[in-house]
């Protein structure tokens, strides 16, 4: 892991996300969904759920990197399973496969009652510093 720390992505501050748990290949992030995060139907905007999933999955993948490596997301897929109005949402991300060049990460997002509200997955590519 790079220098033993996982930096919170800058978007986390804007949306109110917080890192709750970090271990190699796993990250849990939380945020409080409020009216300011709503779409026109008065439910949590899907882009906000994508943001917390992407932040959690990227942070989980970050924990697998060596000091001379970075990464970028190649793709992200999300399935919205239940609407969220307001309340805490928790994104739990796990690196399922970490290869030399590619990684595959999965994420579950749950509401404050523990119900699964979305599932996401993404692929990341490892970037290495040129010598």
pLDDT given for residue 2 in this prediction: 43
pLDDT given for residue 131 in this prediction: 43
Question: So where are the chain's domains?
Answer: 2-128
Domain 2-128 superfamily per CATH: Hotdog Thioesterase (3.10.129.10)
pLDDT given for residue 45 in this prediction: 96
pLDDT given for residue 104 in this prediction: 99
Mean pLDDT by 10 residues, the chain (131 residues): 64 88 96 95 96 96 94 98 97 98 98 98 93 43
Neighbouring C-alpha atoms within 13 Å toward the C-beta of 71: 31
Map 36-76 to HEC letters. HHECCCCCECHHHHHHHHHHHHHHHHHCCCCCCEEEEEEEE
pTM for the whole thing?
0.92
């Amino acid at each position: 892991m790079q220098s033993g720390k996982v930096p919170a992505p800058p978007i986390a501050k804007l949306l109110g996300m917080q890192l709750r748990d970090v271990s190699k290949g796993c990250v849990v992030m939380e945020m409080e969904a409020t009216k300011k995060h709503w779409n026109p139907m008065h439910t949590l905007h899907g882009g906000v759920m994508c943001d917390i999933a992407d932040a959690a999955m990227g942070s989980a993948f970050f924990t697998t990197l060596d000091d001379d490596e970075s990464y970028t997301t190649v793709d992200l897929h999300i399935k919205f399973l239940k609407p969220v109005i307001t309340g805490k949402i928790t994104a739990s991300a796990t690196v399922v496969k970490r290869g030399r060049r590619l990684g595959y990460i999965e994420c579950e997002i749950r509401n404050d009652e523990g119900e699964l509200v979305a599932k996401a997955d993404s692929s990341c590519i490892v970037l290495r510093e040129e010598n």
